[in-house]
Amino acid sequence: MTDIISYDEAQRHAFDSVLHRNTQKTTGGIRSMLGKNSAANAAASKEYFQHWDDKKAEDETDEVREARTADYATITRQYYNLATDFYEYGWCESFHFCRFAFGEPFHQAMARHEHYLAHSMGIKKCMKVLDVGCGVGGPAREIVKFTGAHVTGININEYQVGRATHYANKEGLAGSLKFVQGDFMKMPFPDNSFDAVYAIEATVHAPSLEGIYSEIFRVLKPGGVFGVYEWLMTEDYDNENLDHRRIRLDIEQGNGIAQMFKVSHGLQAVESAGFELELHEDLADRADPAPWYWPLDSNLMYVQTLADLVTVARMNKWGREVMHSAFSVLETMRLLPAGTRKTAESLAKGADALVEGGKRKLFTPMYLMVGRKPVAEEEA
């Protein structure tokens, strides 16, 4: 029987098809940008930036935050319509930060960070695992190869789901991976479906942490484990401090986030959702030889290999300025779609705020929490 979709879903599918054309199976990055529909990209940009244009830290009210939160699904979907190609250009296919060990190349560090989450959760061969907010599937593919588990990824952005499926097929992993388009606040899975659920810097897009954690609790089997690297403001963050608030707002705008919360709120949300919290730690607070934010900063002292230099040159402060000038010229020449320059500037603003928030210990992108769904007494 064919699934019936709503009128709104059909409209979103039609828009995304026009916007991205046939770029789901291209190599990603700038090549995909060149293939986008200019008018549709401009419309996506307008819909996304309406929540931030002409707004300053001192102008933020509860009503402004509530309006963003109510529109979280559109914000997230359009953000990744605009930003995915930039992410693939800079970060390749895993969209997250990581810790760095001495002498460790960038991509090795990224994979180790994914392995550490799988290890902390005890993901094993043949387990049925859910990746919440899977991006283009880089971490899911790595965790499948590392553990031997079967991973299903869910993502609200249709373009990313298409790219994730393309990459899985390309690597011969289609039998171990499945990607589903949907809102993670109302997932299309029955209760008690998965042995483990993880999220890597994705649930920050949720309108409510307790809400998303509760939905994860629902689809997790009794005794199953949930692990997350969460984006949170630290307890040093003071919302009444306008400078602190500016940093938070710039992070939110540059990363498609309706609103962020503090560490204490995140911990409470996990337990309020019903999980027994087994482990929690701010991994950004460890005394590593290189800080998590260094690839976005202007300091190249942490570069380990020539490949690192090439990778970081695309995403650090100086590389961003060079490429943004190039994007501006290409957009003026109508080779890149309208709104490309504005997206690049917003991403740069968010990157600068991430570095500042990291240096000032106001923000962490890797607060690790691992919780377990209790087994009911009659099942024990």
Q: DSSP letter string over 66-126?
A: HHHHHTHHHHHHHHHHHHHHHHHHHHTT------B-TT--HHHHHHHHHHHHHHHHT--TT
182 token code pair: 């949907």
C-alpha dist (Å) from residue 159 to 15, 22, 250, 255, 265 = 11, 10, 25, 17, 32
Output the six-digit token pair for 309.
């230099």
Q: Which residue has the tokens 């779609």?
A: 337
Helices 7-20, 38-49: axis angle to 10 degrees equals 120
Show the CA angle centred on residue 253, arms to residues 8 and 201, nearest 5°. 80
In the chain, the percentage of residues whose pLDDT exceeds 90 is: 77
Lookup: tokens for 349? 């603003």
User: Radius of gyration (Cα) for the chain, nearest Å?
Assistant: 20
Element (H, E) at 63: helix 62-70
pLDDT band at 45 (very low <50, low <70, confident <90, very high): very high
The pair of structure tokens assigned to 32 is 């995909």
Specify the pLDDT at position 1.
37
What's the rounded mean pLDDT across residues 362-376? 96
Residue 250 pLDDT greater than 90, yes or no: yes
**pLDDT of res. 92:** 79
Pick the closest to residue 128 from 112, 111, 147, 113 (CA basis): 147
| Residue range 91-129, pLDDT digits in tens | 878 899 999 999 899 999 999 999 999 999 999 999 999
The model's pTM = 0.94
Rounded to an integer, what distance in angstroms lies between the CA atom of residue 307 and that of residue 107? 9
Q: Which residues pair with 322 in a beta bridge?
A: none
Helices (H), 156-305: 158-170, 209-219, 242-255, 263-272
